[in-house]
Amino acid sequence: MDAGFEGLNPQWLSQSRMDELCGLLLASIPRSDQRRWGELYVRGLLLAEGRKTMQAIAAVAGNTAMQSLQQFISSSPWDWRPVRQSLAGYLDRKIQPLAWIVEPLAVPKAGKRSVGVERQFATGLGKVVNCQQSSGVWLASEQSSCPVDWQLALPASWVTVPEQRKRAAIPDRVGARNPVQCAIDSVVDMAREWRLAPRPVVMSVTNADLPGVVRAFTGRRIPFVIRIEGSLPLVASDPGRAVCERRTLPAQLLTEALQDQAGAVEWRDFGRSRHRVSKVVGARVGLPTPAVHMARATGTPPLLLVGAWTDPSCARPKEFWLSNVSHLSSSALFRIAKLTRRVSHDLHEICDPVGVRDFAGRTFRGWHHHTTLVSIAHAISVLSRADQRTRTPYQPAAPLRPLIGSR
């Protein structure tokens, strides 16, 4: 069985991990009563059955806690950003991530009052749907992954209509943003302010979004491995290798032309808990005009195109990645890129069970508070599971004690 797990099992949740992470990560919250409610909310995310509604979370401690929990999440002014930065620093040391993975999240909604909800195209769902969209940045290794930052995408109607903005308590500094812009903001802030070890950022973009992403990351010397569309035109740095008279080719045709130079790469398919082997090839490329002018202006170095034959039933390459990391081979970059499978797996098996999609509140602040505490619950789940794998049969996990009235 893979390092992930099916659902949550309270029998192996570690009280020591709960105490350690809540004590450390919630320390920036100024009031002791607020820190207590934060611990209780995390406990509810871990132990409440089914959807993590406010009623279900409050029931873990007794229904009298519901009003206080509601106030703590929806309107309490505690700042979620130091909590996330502390979590990222802790996990950077604990799991030693190989990459920062950008994972978009679309949550279909029946109504229209939840903050950010609008009928819109969701890339992850592949269709137009009434939904709330966000972007998460995860720290990922081959053994585990955890989200550390979240940004909520806001359609224009939520920031240009005064009634909408006021109802959701959206700060004046926050404007309309799509999921890609959210991802850029998260990554740039993390790279500039969070004092983490530099890691390649892995994300998927459309042809239209690529220039903005490359410009933002290159200008700040942020390493990246970006999944691109096969139709993206690229300039082959060595036209002779392309076996073609034209230097500019779509990524798919350029990869196919180099098929005889591809090598076999073994990688872990975390979603299927097994190892797989795919053909992978790399080629130095540049961005075509007009993107080349942007590249020159920002000092973009030559890029590496990584093409992969990941579908055994198809003779054509299926994945295409573009990277500015010059010191790693195409094989190493491909393995880093496939950590997206680690994150997708952990999103489904860990983050969903602790309620990442279950927030039903209406405020911008409430959404950020909820996702921050979900990240802590996710981290406790991951580290408790790791503790269980290393614990001997004679060292059972201590049961979780009540938080209310325990101090």
Assigned domain for 31 exists = no
Q: Can you give the pTM of this predicted structure? A: 0.90
Assigned domain for 216 exists = yes
pLDDT at position 12 is 67
Assigned domain for 191 exists = no
pLDDT at position 254 is 94
Assigned domain for 276 exists = yes
Assigned domain for 112 exists = no
Assigned domain for 32 exists = no
DSSP assignment of 67-124 equals HHHHHHHHT----HHHHHHHHHHHHHHHT--SEEEEEEEEEE-SSS-STT-EEEEETT
| Number of CB atoms found within 10 A of residue 110's CB | 7
DSSP 3-state assignment of 130?
A: strand
pLDDT at position 295 is 46
DSSP 3-state assignment of 8?
A: coil
On the 0-12 / 13-18 / 19+ scale of CB atoms within 10 A, 390 is exposed
What is the identity of the amino acid at 310?
Answer: T
Question: d(Cα 381, Cα 396) in Å, to the nearest integer?
Answer: 16
Assigned domain for 222 exists = yes
Residue 228, token pair as written in the block: 């691109």
pLDDT at position 300 is 55
pLDDT at position 41 is 96
On the 0-12 / 13-18 / 19+ scale of CB atoms within 10 A, 381 is buried
Question: Do 102 and 135 meet the contact criterion of CB atoms below 8 Å apart?
Answer: yes
How many domains does the chain divide into? 1
Strand partners, 149: 137
User: Phi/psi class of residue 169: alpha, beta or left (left: φ > 0; alpha: ψ in -120 to 50)?
Assistant: left
Assigned domain for 342 exists = no
pLDDT at position 240 is 53
Question: d(Cα 15, Cα 383) in Å, to the nearest integer?
Answer: 11
Structural domain including 273 reads 201-324
pLDDT at position 137 is 98
pLDDT tens string for the chain (407 positions)?
A: 233 333 455 666 778 888 899 999 999 999 999 999 999 999 999 999 999 999 999 998 776 789 999 999 999 999 999 999 999 999 999 999 999 999 999 999 988 889 999 999 998 888 999 999 999 999 999 999 999 999 999 999 999 999 889 999 999 999 999 999 999 999 999 999 999 999 999 999 999 999 999 999 999 999 999 999 999 999 987 655 545 555 789 999 999 999 999 999 999 888 777 889 999 999 999 988 654 444 454 455 689 999 999 998 888 999 999 999 999 999 999 999 999 999 999 999 999 999 999 999 899 999 999 999 999 999 999 998 887 766 544 454 454 444 333 33
Of 30, 27, 47, which Cα lies nearest the Cα of 377? 47
- Diameter over CA atoms, the chain: 76
pLDDT at position 111 is 84
Question: d(Cα 136, Cα 50) in Å, to the nearest integer?
Answer: 23
User: Phi/psi class of residue 378: alpha, beta or left (left: φ > 0; alpha: ψ in -120 to 50)?
Assistant: alpha
Residue 215, token pair as written in the block: 């410009």
